[in-house]
Amino acid sequence: MKLFSRFRIWVLTCYLVFQLGYGFYLPGSYPHKYNVGDFLSVKVNSLTSIETELPYGYYSLPFCKPSEGVKDSAENLGELLMGDRIENSPYQFKMFTNQTDIFVCASDPLTSDQFKIMKERIDEMYQVNLILDNLPAIRYTQKEGYVLRWTGYPVGVKVKDAYYVFNHLKFKVLVHKYEDANMARVMGTGDAAELIPTIGKGGSDVPGYMVVGFEVVPCSIVHNLDQVKNLKMYQAYPSAVQCDPTTVSMSIKEGQPIAFSYEVMFEESDIKWPSRWDAYLKMEGSKVHWFSIMNSMMVITFLAGIVFVIFLRTVRRDLTRYEELDKEAQAQMNEELSGWKLVVGDVFRAPTSPSLLCIMVGNGVQILGMAVVTILFAALGFMSPASRGTLITGMLFFYMILGVAAGYFAVRLWRTIGCGDNKGWISVSWKVSCFFPGIAFFILTTLNFLLWGSHSTGAIPFSLFVILLLLWFCISVPLTLVGGCLGAKAPHIEFPVRTNQIPREIPAQKYPSWLLVLGAGTLPFGTLFIELFFIMSSIWMGRVYYVFGFLFIVLILLVVVCAEVSLVLTYMHLCVEDWRWWWKAFFASGSVAIYIFLYSINYLIFDLKSLSGPVSSTLYLGYSLLMVFAIMLATGTIGFLSSFWFVHYLFSSVKLD
């Protein structure tokens, strides 16, 4: 009866969530009601370009500044690390009030430096990024019968030898009538009395709208400087401005000012507020994207299944044959046959550099756990593109919290290799907390000097460096030490067989074993190379990545394939009497990082061939190295832990004297 009651409550809860979903919004993602005539302020983000990958501040160019002064918007840690610098702008609208020919300002005459910078930004195809109610400005263009979507608009364009700037913006704001769901108030306050209809002053009859779309059309128009000389900001331009995006006329010249203006039109739309990001998340060739991922999943699953079945049958046959023999026959079999049975006295011999192996495994557990939890939360919608910067912030948060797991696994493995000896666990814990973060800080600091030298907003401010160091040493390091303490107190894993004092000689191999280890990374690479293309495009081509559900499935497939590949390689090495499996098990699956780095170079040469300048290429290679190193630690840890479990299970399942 209790079970039925709980099931009924669960069904009722699911029903309420699905039926009343319009009243539930994730934290930081809720509709904002604007009444007619309310002010809407447009914000500006950093100027970006896929030609250089160096973001610059909006006001690094001679654009109009707001009358109240430039103010930074509240930014989270992820936005700062991604190079976003969100500031206020002089563009202001009134809800559902169309305005035309609005004068903004006329800049001072361009100096030689400003003229040079403007030409460079136009040559490098920099885009201006505007934001209204957390929606980036979107621009539609037509090419060969296809409608293309772009976020932002270009600073200008070069025609022949002349440079033209887009100084007039035509905005279109799509709005939808505010839908006040009573259940939203109930879920927000817990006050059921608000469900009762009120009579009189309720405020519900006041018309309100939500912003569901933000479009921009840039134009290049020559303004009469004599007419705008006495105009103030937001006054109407004396004559009508005809915005034609197909023609340009405002060329920039040294010593000549630039006048800026805009117009805005509001249009009621059927787009509902929860669907307003659909226009940004549409991806060209989506059918090919879905088909490729599904095809990759099926092929890899099929291959992994075959490997797993063959592997199980082989091992089971060896175990069955060995256990069915009596002790005399077993002794004779040990003398006559070669294989994994002969390395019983050396299979658990401590590897070379055992502390380094423990440190890398601990960091791999931390990175893998961070990836799984972050992608899972992103797939559930908690880190959507609408919440700018939350993905990076979440990754940092989960990485720090999982320092407990890193210290625990590293110290427990250290004690297992040392047969329960606690000596040195503090040193291992401290090294785990500093190994990967130290390498990451070294790479980021080196790249940051390049960004500082280029005066890019992508450079991490010194204050943020201090914050990151405080997070590292005040949160991550203590949690790792706590995990190491727990690992030191936990019972170590006992080996099922004794290790001989004298190492067994390894027979000469027909081919280098490391060659097979390095080649093993091709199968894990096959599980993610299609998804890797879309991830790289979202990072370096300015596209929005949102299919986290498929990414989570690919991650699970990657874990399974890495484990199986490492198991097979470990078994093959044991069969040829090579008992040095520890590091080879780690790099058998970790070698996928080599192929990812080669793919990154291929992507740089063929897909980012327009990337200009040594600074941009250095940034790309530096970030790629950091990503590849993290992937190597995570995938190598998967392979090592699965192989360790397999070897322990294999030799504990056989009666050996």
pLDDT in tens, 371-404: 999 999 998 888 877 788 899 999 999 999 999 9
Tell me the average pLDDT across 619-625. 94
The DSSP bridge partners found for residue 259 are 106
277 in any annotated domain:
yes
- Going by pLDDT thresholds of 50, 70 and 90, the confidence category of residue 541 is confident
262 in any annotated domain:
yes
* 553 membership: H or E segment, kind and range: helix 548-575
Tokens of 520: 């093993």
Whose CA is closest to 371, among 388, 394, 390, 404?
A: 394
- Going by pLDDT thresholds of 50, 70 and 90, the confidence category of residue 205 is low
Residues in the chain: 657
At 370, the amino acid letter reads M
- For 430-455, how does the pLDDT look when each residue is reduced to its tens digit (9 = 90+)? 999 999 999 999 999 999 999 999 98
Query: Residue 490: its pLDDT value, please?
Result: 92
Let me know: does 105 contact 260? Beta carbons within 8 Å: yes
Give the Cα separation of 624 and 620 in Å (integer).
Answer: 6
Burial degree of 292 (CB within 10 A; 0-12, 13-18, 19+): middle
The DSSP bridge partners found for residue 177 are 209
Let me know: does 492 contact 409? Beta carbons within 8 Å: no
Which segments of 39-98 are extended strands (E)? 39-44, 87-94
Query: Sign of torsion, CA 568 571 575 579?
Result: positive
Tell me the average pLDDT across 286-309. 68
CB contact set of 315 (below 8 Å; sequence gap of 6+): 571, 650
- Report which DSSP code applies to 47: B
Tokens of 277: 């990001």
Burial degree of 340 (CB within 10 A; 0-12, 13-18, 19+): buried
Report strand pairing: 146-151 vs 138-143.
Answer: antiparallel
- Report which DSSP code applies to 433: H
Q: If you search the block for the tokens 């707001």, which residue do you land on?
A: 66
- For 10-61, how does the pLDDT look when each residue is reduced to its tens digit (9 = 90+)? 434 443 333 333 334 444 457 889 999 999 999 999 999 988 889 999 999 9
Q: If you search the block for the tokens 């991922």, which residue do you land on?
A: 293
How many structural domains does the chain have?
A: 1
Tokens of 587: 């790099």
Let me know: does 228 contact 259? Beta carbons within 8 Å: yes
Let me know: does 626 contact 81? Beta carbons within 8 Å: no
User: Which has more pLDDT, 15 or 584?
Assistant: 584
**Does the pLDDT value for residue 188 go beyond 70?**
no
Let me know: does 97 contact 36? Beta carbons within 8 Å: yes
**Does the pLDDT value for residue 185 go beyond 60?**
no
Tokens of 197: 């209809």
Which segments of 133-245 are extended strands (E)? 135-136, 138-143, 146-151, 153-154, 156-159, 162-165, 168-177, 208-219
pTM of the model: 0.86
Whose CA is closest to 482, among 430, 551, 525?
A: 430
Give the Cα separation of 584 and 573 in Å (integer).
Answer: 9
The DSSP bridge partners found for residue 163 are 158
**Does the pLDDT value for residue 636 go beyond 50?**
yes
**What range defines the domain where residue 103 resides?**
38-181+204-281
Query: Count of alpha carbons within 13 Å of 583, Cβ hemisphere only?
Result: 11
**Does the pLDDT value for residue 330 go beyond 70?**
no
Give the Cα separation of 164 and 241 in Å (integer).
Answer: 17
At 471, the amino acid letter reads L
CB contact set of 489 (below 8 Å; sequence gap of 6+): none
Distances (CA, A) of 461 to 80, 235, 377, 398, 449: 8, 38, 28, 23, 11
Whose CA is closest to 392, among 76, 27, 57, 619?
A: 76
363 in any annotated domain:
no
**Does the pLDDT value for residue 415 go beyond 80?**
yes
Q: If you search the block for the tokens 């040990």, which residue do you land on?
A: 334
Query: Residue 292: its pLDDT value, please?
Result: 62
Let me know: does 475 contact 400? Beta carbons within 8 Å: yes
Let me know: does 257 contact 110? Beta carbons within 8 Å: yes
Tell me the average pLDDT across 296-311. 71
160 in any annotated domain:
yes
Q: What distance, in Å, lies between the first and last C-alpha atoms of the chain? A: 55
248 in any annotated domain:
yes
412 in any annotated domain:
no
**Does the pLDDT value for residue 509 go beyond 80?**
no
Query: Sign of torsion, CA 481 365 512 341?
Result: positive
476 in any annotated domain:
no
255 in any annotated domain:
yes
Tell me the average pLDDT across 561-582. 88
* Max CA separation in the chain (angstroms): 109
